[in-house]
Amino acid sequence: MTLFSGALTGRETPISTSETHAVSGAPLHPPFPEGHGVIVVGMGCFWGVEQLFWELPGVFVTAAGYAGGQTPNPTYEETCTGRTGHAETVQVVYDPAVFGIGTLLKTFWENHDPTQGNRQGNDIGPHYRSLILTTTEAQRAAAEQSAAAFQASLEQAGRGDVTTEIRPLEYFYYAEGYHQQYLAKNPGGYCGLKGTGVSCPVA
């Protein structure tokens, strides 16, 4: 875990958020259906990332939130200061029988630029960094293997090194209700997703 000096204190009580998904009506909070996988990804601004995943077959529910840092139950404003250690992330709950981890990881790598460190395009700061937070050892192994495979493809294309953090999920803090399914509520809203144009060779 990356340690951030001067991390904000945060709070014991979770901030207010939505209870159900604005598009599918599925519950945002556990318990989730038995046998479903849970993984958390950071690819820059979480608005477009969440829409990317909720539109895919086999995804049960998505939620925008904060993860990867130290501050408990942070707000959006606190996360944007860079002093919580968190990234803007999306929790993806999926049915492995329909949407396998390989497809999920291919979607992750091909829809942002994981070589930029603490930024995605014009969005700059540690809260925009690339991140995969896993909930099983199998997920972690698959993520690391896919990172190596994508790195090889990036090198062939003359691109830089992958800076994505891959580690077990500690806590996922739900973002405020107005961030949940933001682009469904605000059609035409900002989406910062932009891939490298390099294909990820993951089954």
Active-site residue numbers? 45
C-alpha distances out from residue 142 to 2, 23, 39, 167, 203, Å = 22, 29, 12, 12, 11
d(CA 198, CA 48): 19
In a 13 Å sphere around the CA of 26, the CA atoms on its Cβ side amount to: 18
Contacts of 169 (CB under 8 A, 6+ apart): 38, 39, 40, 67, 133, 134, 135
